[in-house]
Amino acid sequence: MAARLTVSRELPTDLERDRLPQHVAVIMDGNGRWAQKRGLPRVMGHRRGVDVLKDLVYCCRDWGVGAVTAYAFSTENWKRPMMEVNFLMALIERVLRRELDEMMAEQIRIRFVGDLSGLPQSLQDEAARAMERTSHNGAVDFAIATNYGGRQEIVHACRAIAERVQRGELRPDQVDEGVFQQHLYTCDRVDPDLLIRTSGEMRVSNFLLWQMAYAELYVTETFWPDFNREEFHRALLAYQQRDRRYGKISAPPTPAAPSGSP
Instruction: Give the nearest distance from C-beta 171 to ligand FPP in angstroms.
Output: 40
Out of 57, 95, 143, 236, which residue is the one contacting ligand FPP (CB under 6 A)? Answer: 95
Q: 51, 77, 115, 137: which is the annotated catalytic residue?
A: 77
Site for ligand FPP (CB under 6 A): how many residues? 19
Instruction: Give the nearest distance from C-beta 43 to ligand FPP in angstroms.
Output: 9
Question: Strands, E, within the chain: which ranges?
Answer: 23-27, 67-74, 108-113, 140-148, 194-197, 216-219
Q: Of all helices (H) and strands (E), which one includes residue 229?
A: helix 229-241
228 included as an active-site residue: no
141 included as an active-site residue: no
Closer residue to ligand FPP in complex, CB, 85/238: 85
Closer residue to ligand FPP in complex, CB, 44/215: 44
Terminal CA-to-CA distance of the chain, rounded, Å?
61
CA distance linking residue 199 with residue 195, whole number of Å: 13
Q: Which string of x and - marks every residue 169-208 that binds ligand FPP (by CB under 6 A)?
A: ------------------------------x---------
Pairing, β 140-148 against β 108-113: parallel
Q: Of all helices (H) and strands (E), which one includes residue 62?
A: helix 42-63
Please name the amino acid found at residue 130. Answer: A
CA distances from 27 to 61, 78, 131 (A): 19, 17, 22
CA distance linking residue 235 with residue 63, whole number of Å: 13
Regarding 108 and contact with ligand FPP (CB under 6 A), the answer is no
Site for ligand FPP in 48-77 (CB under 6 A): 49-50, 53, 70, 72, 77
Task: Please compute, for residue 51, the number of CA atoms within 13 A of its CA located in the half-sphere on the CB side.
Answer: 15
Site for ligand FPP in 130-169 (CB under 6 A): 144
Residues tagged active-site = 29, 77
Q: Binding residues for ligand FPP, per CB under 6 A?
A: 28-33, 46, 49-50, 53, 70, 72, 77, 88, 91-92, 95, 144, 199
